[in-house]
Amino acid sequence: MGYAEVRFPENTLFLVTGGAGFIGSNLCEVILKLGYKVRCLDDLSTGKQANVDLFKDNPNYMFVKGDIKDFDTCMNACKGVDFVLNQAAWGSVPRSIEMPLFYCANNITGTLNMLEAAGQNGIKKFVYASSSSVYGDEPNLPKTEGREGNLLSPYALTKRADEEWAKQYTRHYGLDTYGLRYFNVFGRRQDPNGVYAAVIPKFIKQLLAGETPIINGDGKQSRDFTYIENVIEANLKACLAPHEAAGNAFNIAYGGREYLIDIYYGLTKSLGVNVEPKFGPDRAGDIKHSNADISKAKRLLGYNPDWSFERGIAAAIEWYKKNL
C-alpha cells in the first residue's frame, strides 16, 4: 500500500521544485528515505529555510536557490535529472485575486519554463501540481476529470493553463506529463501562520494558543481533505505511470467529504479545549463543496491512498503538538 513498494533504479535523481515548501519538503524527505537522490529548487519566497536545512547533511541532497521564472535556472536545474516533481507555485485563491500579474508570471510562465527545460533535457517524466480549483463552479459531486465549470479565481486559471500547456508538451515535444489535482492537502510542516494559511494548521495553532478561530462562511462547506502521505504516493506512482497515461490530469484525494464545522469541533475535542468559533464572511472565489472521484488515478496511475482523513488528522495533530 502507499509508496512502500515503489522502486526506481539506483542513483535515480529527482528534481523537486518548490522543495522548501510544505508538499515539496515532504517529497524530498521521502525520496531520500527511499535511497534516491534529490535536487531541490526553491527561491524561498514562500518556502522555508528550515525545510531546506532538514536534509543539508544528506549526501544525496542538493539545494539550489533559484526562481522558476528564470529559464536559465530551470535549464541548469534539469541537467542530469530523471524525474521532475514540479511543486513550485504560489497558492491561495484570495491572494491570487489581489495579485493576478504575479500569479500569471509565477504559476504559468514559471511552469512553462520548467516544461521547456525538462523537454530539452530529456526528462523521463514531468509530474506537476494542479488543483481542485480547476473545477470552478461545476456543481456536481464528486468532481470528475473532464467535467469542469467556470473558473472562479486567477489561481484556478493558472492551474488550468498549466494543464493545457502540459498537454501540448506531451503532444508535440515528447514529454510525458502528469497533472495532479490536489484536493485540500494537509499534514506535517504545513504553515499555520499568516492571513492565507490553510484552515487545519491555522485552527490547530489558534486552539493550542487559546485563541478563537474564525470560520469563513457558515462552516457547512465541505472538502476532500487529503493527507500528505497520499500526495507523496501519487507523485511517485506518476513517475512510473505508462506513456499512455501522459498528458492527463488526475484527481488526487482520499475520496471523502468532511464538513468544516465538524472538523472544527473534532479538533477542539482532540485538543481538549472548549472554544466556540466566530463566523466571518465567505472567502472570494471559494467553492461551497468539493470531493473527488479518484477512479481515474487508481486506474491509470495505480494510486491507492491508504491514509483516511481520520488517520491523517490524528497524525497532524501530534506533529503540531510537538512542533508549534
Hey, which residues are catalytic here? 155
For residues 165 and 247, what is the distance between their CA atoms, to the nearest angstrom? 9
The crossing angle, in degrees rounded to 10, of helices 71-78 and 110-120 is 40
Q: Provide the β-strand partners of residue 38.
A: 14, 61
Q: Can you read off the three cell numbers belonging to residue 93?
A: 485563491
Give dist(CA 177, CA 84) in Å, integer: 10
Which of 178, 13, 158, 15 lies closest to 85, judged by CA? 15
Q: Which of 12, 57, 68, 3 is nearest to 38 (CA)?
A: 12
Evaluate whether 255 touches 104 at the Cβ level (below 8 Å): no
- Rounded to the nearest 10°, the torsion over CA 296, 299, 304, 310 is 30
Q: Exposed, middle or buried: residue 210 (CB in 10 Å: 0-12, 13-18, 19+)?
A: exposed
DSSP label of 15: E
Cis geometry, peptide bond prior to residue 142 (ω within 30 degrees of 0): yes
The b-or-e profile of 262-274 (16+ CB within 10 A means b, else e) is ebbebbbebbeee
Which residues sit opposite 181 in a β-bridge? 130, 251
